[in-house]
Chain A
């Protein structure tokens, strides 16, 4: 019965069972020193911890590079667990963030003067500087009007409130806001720090991963640590749920990440007249096979039947062609044009089969001319 009571207790407190918690949340950095890579930003922010002065900040960079983690860790270090709730307001895209919210909620929060410092309950002392922090996550999805309304608020309450805007595309933040903040650029993670972090998590979770798996994780996630961690968690879930538990392979990771298997893409590329290197079992001269409309169409239909995603197939094909060692630059340029057109069309929601076929035919034509 104790088991059930324990469960009920956690439920009433709205706590997530740590076993079910996403690892991304579980292993979020607790202090800014834990943040992987980003040395420059961390060095600047560490100074603010001692001087307790903070400018308005604008964090930008690709997803999964630690923007949200950094600001959360920083504010936790500044205020400690007790004051965190009344000193920090976090808003993101899932909350309504129209102009009315900016006018009411943000303004009201910004206007309050923070209460005097209390002694922290866990015995540690925190700097607890005399201002509040408002974190606007995913700020690039805020409308122009809402951003405009922030301008004056940021200045008026600058004495008691600091803003931190977090976004992926700095160009979507209006210029007046950007000029009020000091900007921090977050760069995609290099493979050494990703490897380090992933193996830390793996050892903490008691799962064994081979270096091969780690390198696949890093390849498929492209510098996005959050994606790498999520893939790792899904893979470990799958492998531990089978009976007996099987070790994680890099093929599992590819399947979870939705990557099209290399031989499928190579096969498609070969049908388009691209010589694919790297795999040894290419039998005979590829040029001997008749290439034409029918073969390409058949290949495209097969890919669609397998259910692979069009954008993923295109990006992998793109990698093969653009990094190809022997193709002349002019042909590559023609192919690149076709890829760009197709990407735009897919973003607009066009039919996938038609556009993969189109790219295939264009590449075929570019290479045979």
Chain B
């Protein structure tokens, strides 16, 4: 019993529902034998991974679906041991080098050279090269990217690299210029609806159009999220009729609560309250950037037009600080205090608010 997301994931390029032009290109590239290095980029849930696995299947046939998970140990220059999980089949290997943190350069150099220097031994293999898939390529360090540069040119005969990233901003230009860029945009609402209807048809029940519209609007272009929500809804009310209530994830409602707290009252006591809520969120492993963005978006909805730009400005400012800095909570708090004081000042000017009790 697997989730619908996995159960109905397209297995071949022909089964893909949207971006037909892209699928046709991938298909003809896989058939031509002249397969380049590739870089797939696009927002999450747009179908990058699905497209990569379909392309692999097109290249090598069914063999790529026999996966095994391996744990490899690498030794960093400072003699530290790094354990990296590797998913591989006979024809491809998939790594997430960001697991190695600062030492991703070692992993890239060792692993790629090792793969690059061995040739395909299986005589029945359709292609003479192996494919290396690098997930989350945008979190590779500069060093690791620099190490990729020459390897990509030198070992072209034995190996192709497929990079998968959310954005190309953090990739260095030499890597981008060596890959064929494949932009996977998020599906449009109509395309998402067809996919949902397709799933409903496979499971033999009717999907009311209102329900599918609601799901699509809620998911914001993220196909994976849409399917998960769809399955959850189906569990809640099997006939999918009447007024449906899409449950927001807990952290999101919690973030909204924080935003409301900020707008309601601006006192030191309130800052303390918000702080404990932030700690709660952080201890549940919600990424601080996501927290800041969600709270800021909610706050912006409930303030005057002239304040909105300032609030987003400081959100961007402290988000950047948070990346460079070490302790996330400081910057979250700094932003909250900043927003509170901004809000207070404008309120004071507009309504001539009575400030005497704070002085």
Is B174's CB within 8 Å of the partner chain A?
A: yes
Binds A, one of B82-90, B274-282, B313-321: B313-321
Residues from chain A with Cβ under 8 Å of B246 in the complex? none
Residues from chain B with Cβ under 8 Å of A22 in the complex? 153, 156, 178
Closest chain B residue to A359, Cβ basis: B316
Counting contact residues on chain A (CB < 8 A from B), the size range is 35 or more
Residues from chain A with Cβ under 8 Å of B28 in the complex? 241-243
Does B181 lie within 8 Å of A94, measured CB to CB?
no
Knowing A310-B167, A352-B169, A358-B313, say if A256 contacts B181 (CB, 8 Å).
yes
Is A262's CB within 8 Å of the partner chain B?
A: no
Residues from chain B with Cβ under 8 Å of A98 in the complex? 77
Q: Which of A94, A238, A243, A309 contacts B169 (CB 8 A)?
A: A309
Does A307 lie within 8 Å of B181, measured CB to CB?
no
How many Å from the CB of B302 to the closest CB on chain A? 13
Does A138 lie within 8 Å of B146, measured CB to CB?
yes
Q: Which of B46, B146, B180 contacts A307 (CB 8 A)?
A: B46
A321-369 at interface with B (beta carbon < 8 Å): 344-346, 348-355, 357-358, 361-362, 364-365
Q: Which of A234, A243, A361 contacts B36 (CB 8 A)?
A: A234
Kindly state the separation between the CA atoms of A351 and B320 in the bound complex, as whole angstroms: 8
Does A354 lie within 8 Å of B316, measured CB to CB?
yes
Is A215's CB within 8 Å of the partner chain B?
A: no
How many Å from the CB of B28 to the closest CB on chain A? 4
Residues from chain B with Cβ under 8 Å of A355 in the complex? 316, 320
Binds A, one of B67-75, B182-190, B343-351: B182-190
How many Å from the CB of A298 to the closest CB on chain B? 12
**Per-residue contact bits, chain B 292-328, to A (CB 8 Å; 1 contact, 0 not):** 0100100010000100110011011101100110000
Residues from chain A with Cβ under 8 Å of B153 in the complex? 22, 24-25
How many Å from the CB of A139 to the closest CB on chain B? 12
Does A350 lie within 8 Å of B146, measured CB to CB?
no
Does A256 lie within 8 Å of B146, measured CB to CB?
no
Q: Which of A241, A312, A345 contacts B25 (CB 8 A)?
A: A241
Residues from chain B with Cβ under 8 Å of A354 in the complex? 293, 296, 312, 315-316, 319
**Per-residue contact bits, chain A 158-187, to B (CB 8 Å; 1 contact, 0 not):** 000000000000000000000000000000
Residues from chain A with Cβ under 8 Å of B170 in the complex? 346, 349
Kindly state the separation between the CA atoms of A16 and B186 in the bound complex, as whole angstroms: 38
Does B109 lie within 8 Å of A94, measured CB to CB?
yes
Q: Which of A258, A304, A365 contacts B309 (CB 8 A)?
A: A365
Kindly state the separation between the CA atoms of A339 and B150 in the bound complex, as whole angstroms: 32
Kindly state the separation between the CA atoms of A112 and B184 in the bound complex, as whole angstroms: 54
Residues from chain A with Cβ under 8 Å of B125 in the complex? none
Is B32's CB within 8 Å of the partner chain A?
A: yes
Is B3's CB within 8 Å of the partner chain A?
A: no
How many Å from the CB of B314 to the closest CB on chain A? 9
Residues from chain A with Cβ under 8 Å of B317 in the complex? 358
Is B194's CB within 8 Å of the partner chain A?
A: no
Kindly state the separation between the CA atoms of A89 and B157 in the bound complex, as whole angstroms: 23
Residues from chain A with Cβ under 8 Å of B148 in the complex? 94
Kindly state the separation between the CA atoms of A244 and B34 in the bound complex, as whole angstroms: 17
Does A237 lie within 8 Å of B312, measured CB to CB?
no
Kindly state the separation between the CA atoms of A344 and B300 in the bound complex, as whole angstroms: 25
Does A350 lie within 8 Å of B36, measured CB to CB?
no
How many Å from the CB of A288 to the closest CB on chain B? 19
Residues from chain B with Cβ under 8 Å of A2 in the complex? none
Q: Is the interface of B mostly helix, strand, loop or mixed?
A: helix
Knowing A17-B157, A94-B147, say if A353 contacts B180 (CB, 8 Å).
no
Closest chain A residue to B157, Cβ basis: A16
Does B181 lie within 8 Å of A257, measured CB to CB?
yes
Kindly state the separation between the CA atoms of A95 and B113 in the bound complex, as whole angstroms: 11
Q: Which of A241, A292, A306 contacts B31 (CB 8 A)?
A: A241
Kindly state the separation between the CA atoms of A241 and B31 in the bound complex, as whole angstroms: 8
Residues from chain B with Cβ under 8 Å of A277 in the complex? none
Is B76's CB within 8 Å of the partner chain A?
A: no
A103-133 at interface with B (beta carbon < 8 Å): none
**Per-residue contact bits, chain B 181-225, to A (CB 8 Å; 1 contact, 0 not):** 101111000000000000000000000000000000000110000
Q: Which of A93, A258, A305 contacts B176 (CB 8 A)?
A: A258
Knowing A354-B315, A354-B319, say if A93 contacts B150 (CB, 8 Å).
yes
Does A258 lie within 8 Å of B109, measured CB to CB?
no
How many Å from the CB of B318 to the closest CB on chain A? 10
How many Å from the CB of A263 to the closest CB on chain B? 15
Knowing A138-B146, A241-B32, A307-B42, say if A348 contacts B167 (CB, 8 Å).
no
Is B50's CB within 8 Å of the partner chain A?
A: no
- Among A16, A227, A305, A355, the one with the most B-chain Cβ atoms within 10 Å of its Cβ is A305
Is B263's CB within 8 Å of the partner chain A?
A: no
Is B1's CB within 8 Å of the partner chain A?
A: no
Does A242 lie within 8 Å of B24, measured CB to CB?
yes
How many Å from the CB of B319 to the closest CB on chain A? 5
Is A21's CB within 8 Å of the partner chain B?
A: yes
Does A306 lie within 8 Å of B151, measured CB to CB?
no
How many Å from the CB of B164 to the closest CB on chain A? 12
Kindly state the separation between the CA atoms of A158 and B305 in the bound complex, as whole angstroms: 69
Does B181 lie within 8 Å of A348, measured CB to CB?
no
Given A237-B32, A358-B313; 13 other pairs, CB 8 A cutoff: A11-B128, A16-B157, A22-B153, A25-B153, A93-B149, A94-B149, A230-B177, A293-B300, A309-B169, A344-B320, A354-B315, A354-B316, A361-B312
The 8 closest A-B pairs by CB, nearest first: A307-B42, A94-B150, A241-B28, A358-B316, A309-B168, A345-B320, A361-B309, A350-B320
Residue contacts A-B, CB under 8 angstroms, 6 given? A11-B128, A304-B43, A306-B183, A307-B184, A351-B319, A361-B309
